[in-house]
Structure 1
Amino acid sequence: MMRSLYSGVSGLQNHQVRMDVIGNNISNVNTIGFKKGRVNFQDIISQNIGGAARPTEENGGINPKQVGLGMMVATIDTIHTQGSLQNTGVISDAAIQGNGFYVLRTGEKELYTRAGGFSLDADGYLVNPANGFRLQGWLPEDLGDGVLGAIKTAADVTDLVIPIGSKDPARQTTLVELASNLDKRTPIIPPGASPAVISEGSWSLDKSIYDSFGNAHILRMNFVRTPGINNSWDVTVQIDPDRPADADVAPNVTLGFDPATAAGNVDGEGEFTITFDNLGAIADVLDAQGNLVTEGRIQIPVTFDVENDATGTTITQVFLIDIGEVGSYTNSTTQFAETSTTKAFRQDGYTMGYLENYRIDQKGIITGVYSNGTERDLGQIALATFTNPGGLEKAGETEFARTLNSGDALIGPSGVAGRGKIISGTLEMSNVDLAEQFTDMIVTQRGFQSNSKTIQTSDQMLQELLTLKR
């Protein structure tokens, strides 16, 4: 009789535990990155009243006779299913779609979370704004003088910092790439033609380039049909042709494949000649010193001088003009019977700029956007996975700590080795399903109610037993 009382008590106690977990799930229905809990029950060892017996020649076997002693909590699991994603539009918000946890550090302690509501602190660190724990990842290699190198994800993780307002040093133009077409229908200029006739057979382009101080200059290239020669164009290169007399660019411009023999005109021009084959591709290029190139990619060195205001001396600037590849039509100068499009489609210089904004891509790479139009990789967010994520221990504030049964954190970039991808501007919501929780609540309530009825009925039977003597 007493066994049924204690079985009912165990049922009451453990259904209350299940109700506690359900209540916690419902209370965190709107907690970002929250993972719901689940209670599983198991029975307590049963008391043997009669043992089992094997079959004999005369009789069959006998099954054991057992009376259960109640139930207990088997596990309280954390369910790491994907929560729905909510768009926030905040750059520093980031949700994980798939497996993985963000790595946070406080002192020497590492914690893990799915809650990606990060923000910048006063020093530019990406942190959990609720407790200041710093987000971990990898920073680019510092090459000195403000130059950033590659991000090495094989290195140990460190605090991620986004230096808003930091400077991006000016970069001198080293390469100008052309993708031009010169109209084959342009009339060939006869030798000794007047300037008016020459202007009808010419085309021009202007492109901004930058010196080592970050000053902008105008690169002008004039294309003129070579007098009396078919499929040939003379190209004149000028730097700041419309500069005033007191400009800080010296008038000399040298151009040629061999800088040792290159010599510019006294009016600040350099020249070379392009010859095309009958199929419209480059056949060869000849510089003013007689150097001829007939194969490969053609890059012509151009040199000009810039005055250093601090010392009054001049500083030599050198860059390459990429004409294209001999015999190629891809990103090369061509000659077809179409309107001339003398286009310089890329140059690699820029002036000094400030970091104004940043963005995070699906690989977790943080890209800085500078006021000079350049973009730099500032870092990469790390993700951690575990052999048994269910073995993690909840540490509060929607964070987890590793345990002996979770395994060690396997830290690496997103999208690699089963890790999910990072979605910027979104947050992962709680994976609590209210319909499921309310159903479990009803089942739990009925279980609690039934166990209380077991105690009540056992008490009535004891009462009947006590009245047998009357």
Structure 2
Amino acid sequence: NVATDLALNGSGYFVTQGLDGQILTRAGNFVFNQDGLLVTGTSGLKVQAFRIDANGEVDMSQLSDVQIDFAAQAPPKFTENMDIGGNLPADAPIGEEVTLSNKIYDEQGNVLNVVTRFTKTAENEWSFSIENDEGGFTAASGTMTFNVDGSLDTPDSVGLTWDTDFVTSGSTLTVDFSGMTQYGGSSTATVRDQDGYASGKLSSFTIDPAGKVKLNFTNGQQEEVYQLAISDVDNPNGLEQLGENFYAPTAASGETVTGRAGNELQTTIVAGTLEMSNVDLAEEFTSMIIAQRGYQASARVITTSDEILQETVQLKR
């Protein structure tokens, strides 16, 4: 399947920009040209859409060309939160140590290795330390205590201060301990999550049923950049046919409503497929048979008239 092959499931038309205004089409065989513009595959008309900003808001104030920079990179994000959860064994002897290792990211997307150590110091009490041999943040240490039922008492979390050589001044790394327990058995303590990531290259794009163009990056991030515009008219039979499945609105086609699939217009977009002929074959075959029968009847009338004329000529002779 070709990701830029699109079909409309419902009424409406894709919107393209012609020299004299908007041109409508249901033929969704689109391609990206050498400038990264989404255009029609036959005539190179630019497909129109609404821009989506960094907050995910769709700008409905104006239409825009769909243009993608295929050399784009997604910026990195430094780790602000780290989640450590799981169980520390209640029956562990004093002095037993549980060590965890994981990766976090600084503001440039560089990887830092973090080591977290838990050491049992007394009944229902463990000391902890979080450090990185390469620096990056101020090491933290403290005491973790548990209630008699094995639930965590203190602390729920601890904050580490990033060094300014790695992350902008004043930034902190919060380590969440709220998922820790102390029950009998083996240790299941683990770093469950961290929210940083490195930079990523654009790897692919998708277009969803609402017409949102989404960029997928190698660091697992996704960015919505456009939502395709869809137009519909009161009277499709009043559209001016321009050839190659293109149409222009006219006074006879009535009001043109331009919006988004699944929002202002109740239609959806199917990616990776093209719309087949929407002619009802049974109806067309029936019409063809009726026309053929009518032609045959007319031909017989002409033949009969010709025979009568010939007989008349023969009688005069």
* TMscore range, shorter length: 0.7 to 0.9
Q: Is the 8 A contact 2:16 2:46 kept in 1?
A: yes
Render the CA deviation track for 1:347-377: whole Å, top value 9, x for unaligned.
Answer: 2222222212111222222211223332211
The 3 A distance-change label for structure 1 pair 108 and 459 is same
Q: Output the CA distance in 2 between the equivalents of 1:111 and 1:368.
A: 27
Q: Is the 8 A contact 2:198 2:219 kept in 1?
A: yes
Q: TM-score, normalised by structure 1?
A: 0.60
**Letter of the 1:237 counterpart:** I
Give the C-alpha shift of residue 126 in structure 1.
0.9
The SS at the match of 1:429 is coil
Q: Match for residue 234 of structure 1?
A: 127
Q: TM-score, normalised by structure 2?
A: 0.85
Q: Match for residue 185 of structure 1?
A: 90
Larger Rg, first or second structure (1 or 2): 1
Q: Match for residue 321 of structure 1?
A: 174
Q: Match for residue 163 of structure 1?
A: 69
The 3 A distance-change label for structure 1 pair 202 and 407 is farther
Alignment of 1:386 onto 2:233: yes
Q: Output the CA distance in 2 between the equivalents of 1:405 and 1:202.
A: 81
Q: Output the CA distance in 1 between the equivalents of 2:42 and 2:170.
A: 52
Select the residue among 297, 300, 303 that pairs with 2:158: 300
Select the residue among 298, 308, 316 that pairs with 1:451: 298
The SS at the match of 1:415 is coil
**Letter of the 1:323 counterpart:** D
Give the C-alpha shift of residue 423 in structure 1.
1.9
The 3 A distance-change label for structure 1 pair 459 and 218 is same
**Letter of the 1:216 counterpart:** V
Q: Output the CA distance in 1 between the equivalents of 2:71 and 2:249.
A: 37
The SS at the match of 1:156 is strand
Q: How does 1:206-225 map to 2 (within 5 A)?
A: 206-225=101-120
The SS at the match of 1:427 is coil
Q: Output the CA distance in 2 between the equivalents of 1:324 and 1:421.
A: 44
Q: Is the 8 A contact 1:206 1:219 kept in 2?
A: yes
Q: How does 1:37-52 map to 2 (within 5 A)?
A: none
Q: Is the 8 A contact 1:323 1:333 kept in 2?
A: no
Alignment of 1:398 onto 2:303: no
- Equivalent pairs: percent with the same residue? 32
**Letter of the 2:141 counterpart:** E
Q: Output the CA distance in 2 between the equivalents of 1:91 and 1:215.
A: 33
The SS at the match of 2:225 is strand
Render the CA deviation track for 1:366-421: whole Å, top value 9, x for unaligned.
Answer: 21122333221122222223333343332211122222233333222222255222
Give the C-alpha shift of residue 168 in structure 1.
1.8
The SS at the match of 1:451 is helix
Q: Match for residue 277 of structure 1?
A: 147
Q: Match for residue 12 of structure 1?
A: none
Select the residue among 198, 201, 212 that pairs with 1:365: 212
Q: Is the 8 A contact 1:361 1:424 kept in 2?
A: yes
Give the C-alpha shift of residue 237 in structure 1.
0.7
The 3 A distance-change label for structure 1 pair 348 and 439 is same
Q: Output the CA distance in 2 between the equivalents of 1:229 and 1:337.
A: 12
Give the C-alpha shift of residue 121 in structure 1.
0.8
Q: Output the CA distance in 1 between the equivalents of 2:64 and 2:223.
A: 19
RMSD of aligned Cα (Å): 3.1
The SS at the match of 1:218 is strand
Q: Output the CA distance in 2 between the equivalents of 1:440 and 1:167.
A: 57
The SS at the match of 2:297 is helix
Give the C-alpha shift of residue 468 in structure 1.
11
Q: Output the CA distance in 2 between the equivalents of 1:439 and 1:385.
A: 30
Alignment of 1:149 onto 2:44: no
Q: Output the CA distance in 2 between the equivalents of 1:428 and 1:336.
A: 60
The 3 A distance-change label for structure 1 pair 407 and 342 is farther
Alignment of 1:350 onto 2:193: no
Q: Match for residue 176 of structure 1?
A: 82
Alignment of 1:139 onto 2:9: no
Unaligned 5+ runs, structure 2: none
Render the CA deviation track for 1:242-269: whole Å, top value 9, x for unaligned.
Answer: x4xxxxx46xx43xxxxxxxxxxxxxx3
